[in-house]
């Protein structure tokens, strides 16, 4: 498996750190090291784009997982992706998605697509009892 970050998890507040921490608890620290948490805390639009761009360059990450489709992290990542061919921006990150991504044996162009499919498949409604019990 690849050394260093494969992706940045960009989210509001402490969510990115929490998701990466959860990956470490489930898959181990080596797997979690493939993700770099990034928070938008205290960053305006221009500062957010600049800080995220710096993290992408420094880490060599090829994917940015974000929390909200129209959130500030996604808007910043999409601006950067316009000038960075090959950078994928994936919105709505969840734990199963991130686990599938870091556990992939290699980085292929469709690795993030497979992770998205796993994240979508993991979503469900667990209903206990009929009639609102």
Per-residue pLDDT tens for 66-106?
A: 999 999 999 999 999 999 988 999 999 999 999 999 998 77
Residue whose C-alpha is closest to residue 10's, from 60, 56, 57: 56
Q: Is 133 exposed, middle or buried (0-12, 13-18, 19+ CB in 10 A)?
A: exposed
Q: What pLDDT is attached to residue 130? A: 59
Residue whose C-alpha is closest to residue 24's, from 36, 16, 33: 33
pTM score, whole prediction = 0.89
Q: What pLDDT is attached to residue 2? A: 45
**Distance between CA atoms of residues 81 and 53, nearest Å:** 10
Q: What pLDDT is attached to residue 105? A: 76
Query: Hey, where are the domains in the chain?
Result: 7-121
Q: How many separate helices (H) and strands (E) can be counted in the chain?
A: 6, 4
DSSP 4: S
CATH superfamily, domain 7-121, is Phosphotransferase system, mannose-type IIA component (3.40.50.510)
Tell me the sheet residues that pair with 91: 66
Cβ neighbours for 4, distance < 8 A, ≥ 6 positions apart? 33, 34, 59, 60
């Amino acid at each position: 498996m690849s050394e260093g970050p494969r992706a940045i998890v960009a989210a509001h507040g402490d969510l990115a750190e929490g998701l990466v921490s959860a990956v470490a608890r489930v898959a181990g620290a080596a797997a979690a090291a493939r993700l770099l948490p990034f928070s938008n805390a205290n960053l305006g639009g221009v500062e957010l784009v600049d800080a995220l761009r710096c993290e992408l360059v420094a880490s060599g990450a090829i994917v940015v997982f974000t929390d909200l489709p129209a959130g500030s992290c996604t808007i910043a990542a999409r601006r950067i992706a316009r000038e960075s061919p090959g950078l994928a921006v994936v919105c709505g990150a969840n734990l199963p998605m991130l686990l599938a991504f870091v556990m992939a044996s290699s980085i292929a162009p469709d690795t993030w697509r497979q992770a998205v499919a796993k994240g979508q498949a993991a979503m469900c409604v667990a209903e206990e009892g009929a009639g609102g019990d």
